[in-house]
Chains A and B, each alone.
Chain A
Amino acid sequence: MNSSVITFPGSNCDRDMDVALKKFGFKNKMVWHDDNELPKSDLVVLPGGFSYGDYLRCGSMASKSKIMQSVINFAKGGGKVMGICNGFQILVESGLLPGVLLRNKYLEFICKNVHVKINNKKNFFFKDFNKDTLKFHIAHNEGSYFCSNEQLKEIRDNNQIALFYSDADGNIDEKNNPNGSVENIAGILNKEMNILGMMPHPERMIDPALSGEDGSIFFKNLINNLK
């Protein structure tokens, strides 16, 4: 399975993602934002970080970079695309996913482990997942998911919510909402279910000695579903 990780100026989780993808069997290539063409890929990943210093709005400049036109065409043709953290912000700014990510409700940069509950397993990212809640890491300043009421209705009706912030038992409530996201939304899919954006970092949970194993489960499942 071939994957590509795009590096923007200011990306800082690109190498972690590279390590994670390779550990679970992907042949990964790093792609520079100023390139025009994507290499042959089964999966394209937009990594976390602070592309263009988060100037103007997080992800806004990166969404206009050269490679993004190829990523948009790839995604619109049904290619699998995943955006983590800043990658999620880039996906909403490029119009591939609905909504926007606002400044965290309590104006703090949040860096901690959280639990997320999988809401939709009818997509290749979470198909055959043997768990309902996952422990992932979040590290962001602008992660408060927001969309208009009409958009919210639409994403609910189409079952586009991928992940909710929850507790370890999967309870979704205000107490377990770290950043003020609408309805505890931590990750969403597009209508066609080939694009996933999420704030939590699965690539930071691939080593039990350092952090946890839930990222390992995620990547193993991902490559199995792609085969």
Chain B
Amino acid sequence: MTHLLSIADLNRADIEQLHQLTDTFVEVSRRSIPKVPALRGKNVVWLFYEDSTRTRLSFEQAAKRLSADTMTFSVSSSSVKKGESLRDTVLTIEAMGVDAIVVRHGSAGVPWQIARWLEDRVHIINAGDGWHEHPTQALLDSYTIRSERGSLEGMHIGIVGDVKHSRVARSDVLAYTALGAQVTLVAPPTLLPPSLAGWPVTVSHDLDAVLPSLDVVGILRMQQERMTENLVPSLREYTSLYGLTLRRVDTMRDDALIMHPGPVNRGVEISAEVADLPRSKIVDQVRNGVATRMAVLYLLLGQGVDKILDPGVPEEAPDGEHSDVSVTDSESSVGVTG
């Protein structure tokens, strides 16, 4: 794996490997000194063409805990104001010598375009491209459910709200279904994409009918900044039909989880009291986000997977040290550890 552009590029085993790696970094984050030297000397650039608080801070925290160096490129204070093109900006950043670019952009496909321009010399991580995908959010959402319930296999997960404008919904659907869950989208017809052909989901317009059967309900933010046309009559009407209120929570199963990718519009898609319930995992999602992004950065920049998937790796390392091997007897271990 050179880049993380889309959940669609990952199979179930890849996602599960990232989740296992995330376990390790959750433990690292709990240490009294929550920092490891794994990515010393690596340089990561944040290329954010769109506003972001939690994703950028979360990536920043993840990189620092891995001892990587970071640079921030924000559009408002850059030569983009002077008319520099995206391609020139990216080539300039590459020439400074970076190992990874974490990109968020308002247009779908930009991370792919950058990867092509740089001919895969730099690792590209998609931190959200338009309405298209937000893969690290899907990894942390599925990790959060896995750490609460052990597995997503056979679960019924509802994604409620503004699916049309939501890159989180697209990535979540791919991750949840890859891990064996069944997904139902719940939204008014105007907030669904024009075509759902090929999506492995069922669709409902009635939240109250779906809610009692859900193991997890994922609430999406009403993206008012992307609403250029009147897709809902009013926010109050949306809240009365699709807002998660205490009354609706009472109809849910006792062990059902509530998730929200943030930022939360309290009182719109979720009521203030519901957001603070113990079964609401919003804060855990943020915490797991840091560990998830550590796993992604480590996997790409530590050059783990590439060589692991490559059967041509020499059995004896260049320094003749520590070649891991295994035996069929689960009780024994082959010790060539340094």
A binds B: no
Chain A residues proximal to chain B, CB less than 8 Å: none
